[in-house]
């Protein structure tokens, strides 16, 4: 396979000169900052943030074992998804390909950028049909989005299938690993330097418990990260988010403990759900949620709602007919859910 990043980029992006911030132009030590038209009155937030979040990236680098130059941080994974499409896809011309069913944001970002969104149906067991995926690719397909563990199905895609796509598609392969911390297998970060066309997305919104701060990660070659840096908003991650994330990343042990609690709760919950009359099928999951099939999803949804338990109705989604998606909660919350479902008539 031949991969040529320059060739793959959208024409205008290839030529672009990035906006140069005051912080880009001066990075040394000083005590009087009169270069950015900020307020001189000191507070936590009177200065612009570091546009490249270097302190945060050093921390992330240690945790993820990826070089800081191979890390992009943005306003949620959403920002990285949008930037990848913008960097590689010519509006009204190119297309991206994603699996179906999957996370909704790839389509939203494609639609906003006037890029055609193609879908390739997963198999009944939510696995990749690699032959049909490769058949859906043409010269105008610039990016393939794979989500593993996949939302809303919960399963990890089969590793050799993902590797097949990485080895045979000459465009960008994005693997969205939002739920990787809950998975049994490790993700694709260790293979980052083996595949110049690979972008791995992860997030602080799930396992790290920081959905509120909006912080997402993209990992790729230094060259791809440089492109994303060139086209992002200069100060895309604000001071408060950077501070809060640094603080939470210090509590790595607590996060690991929370992840093992979720995983052991998942192990307890799945067989119990399986034993309930109301549940017809429990799908295997590698994430912090589980997809279950019931006879009357709307009725079960409304019944739970009435008990102030909110779940996600995915029954209108392809291959998810009759399905509800249940997030794993605290042990107490999971008991409430089980108890409610056991009493459904
Ligand atoms: C929740 C989720 C994300 C996280 O998005 P953020 O913008 O980082 O909060 C990304 N991808 C998938 C598949 C998700 O389910």
Which residue has the CA at smallest separation from atom 10 of ligand 1?
178
CA of 81 to the centre of ligand 1 (A): 10
Measured from the CA of 103, which atom of ligand 1 is nearest? 13
145 within 8 A of 136, measured Cβ to Cβ: no
Rg value, the chain, Cα: 22
Which residues pair with residue 141 across a beta bridge? Answer: 95
Q: Does any ligand 1 atom lie closer than 6 A to the CB of residue 147?
A: yes
Alpha-helical runs (H) found in the chain: 5-8, 11-15, 22-25, 54-64, 76-88, 105-112, 130-135, 159-168, 222-231, 239-249, 252-274, 297-306, 331-342
Q: How far is C-alpha 57 from the geometric centre of its chain's CA atoms? A: 17
Share of the chain above pLDDT 70, in %: 100
Could you tell me the two tokens for 308? 């102030």
pLDDT confidence bin for 258, thresholds 50/70/90: very high
- For the segment 157-184, the average pLDDT, to the nearest whole number, is 98
- For the segment 44-61, the average pLDDT, to the nearest whole number, is 96
What pLDDT score was predicted for residue 21? 83
Instruction: Judge whether residue 48 has pLDDT over 90.
Output: yes
Could you tell me the two tokens for 55? 């302190």
Instruction: Judge whether residue 102 has pLDDT over 90.
Output: yes
Q: Does any ligand 1 atom lie closer than 6 A to the CB of residue 216?
A: yes
Q: What is the pTM of this model?
A: 0.97
| Ligand 1 mutation target, pool 72, 75, 103, most atoms within 8 A of CB | 103
Per-residue pLDDT tens for 234-255?
999 999 999 999 999 999 999 9
DSSP 188-246: SGGGGGG-TTEEEEEESSSTTS-GGG--EEEE--HHHHHHHHHHS-TT-S-HHHHHHHH
Asked if omega into 94 is within 30° of 0 (cis), the reply is no
Measured from the CA of 150, which atom of ligand 1 is nearest? 13
Which positions ≥6 away from 135 have C-beta within 8 Å? none
Q: Does any ligand 1 atom lie closer than 6 A to the CB of residue 234?
A: no
- Within 10 angstroms of residue 45's Cβ, the number of other Cβ atoms is 13
Q: Does any ligand 1 atom lie closer than 6 A to the CB of residue 104?
A: no
Q: Does any ligand 1 atom lie closer than 6 A to the CB of residue 182?
A: no
């Amino acid at each position: 396979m031949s991969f040529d990043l320059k060739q793959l980029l959208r024409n205008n992006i290839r030529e672009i000169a990035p906006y140069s911030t005051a912080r880009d132009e001066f990075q040394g030590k000083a005590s009087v900052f009169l270069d950015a038209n900020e307020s001189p009155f000191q507070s936590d937030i009177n200065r612009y943030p570091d546009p490249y979040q270097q302190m945060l990236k050093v921390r992330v680098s240690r945790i993820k074992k990826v070089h800081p130059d191979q890390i992009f941080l943005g306003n949620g994974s959403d920002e990285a998804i949008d930037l990848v499409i913008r960097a590689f896809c010519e509006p009204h011309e190119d297309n991206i390909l994603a699996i179906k069913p999957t996370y909704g944001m790839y389509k939203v970002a494609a639609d906003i950028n006037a890029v055609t969104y193609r879908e390739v149906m997963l198999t009944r067991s939510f696995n990749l049909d690699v032959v049909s995926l490769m058949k859906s690719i043409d010269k105008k397909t610039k990016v393939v989005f794979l989500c593993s563990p996949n939302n809303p199905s919960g399963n990890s895609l089969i590793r050799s299938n993902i590797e097949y796509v990485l080895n045979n598609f000459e465009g960008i392969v994005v693997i969205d690993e939002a739920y990787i911390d809950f998975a049994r297998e490790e993700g694709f970060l260790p293979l980052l330097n083996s595949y110049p066309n690979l972008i791995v997305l992860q997030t602080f919104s799930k396992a790290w418990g920081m959905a509120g701060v909006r912080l997402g990660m993209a990992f790729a070659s230094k060259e791809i990260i440089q492109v994303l840096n060139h086209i992002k908003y200069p100060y895309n991650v604000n001071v408060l988010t950077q501070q809060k994330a640094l603080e939470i990343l210090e509590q790595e042990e607590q996060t690991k403990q929370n992840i093992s609690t979720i995983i052991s709760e998942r192990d307890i919950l799945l067989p119990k759900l399986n034993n309930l009359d109301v549940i017809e099928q429990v799908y295997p999951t590698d994430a912090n949620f589980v997809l279950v099939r019931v006879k009357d999803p709307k009725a079960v949804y409304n019944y739970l709602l009435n008990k102030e338990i909110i779940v996600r109705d995915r029954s209108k989604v392809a291959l998810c007919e009759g399905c509800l998606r249940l997030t794993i909660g605290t042990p107490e919350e999971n008991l409430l859910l089980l108890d409610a479902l056991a009493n459904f008539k």
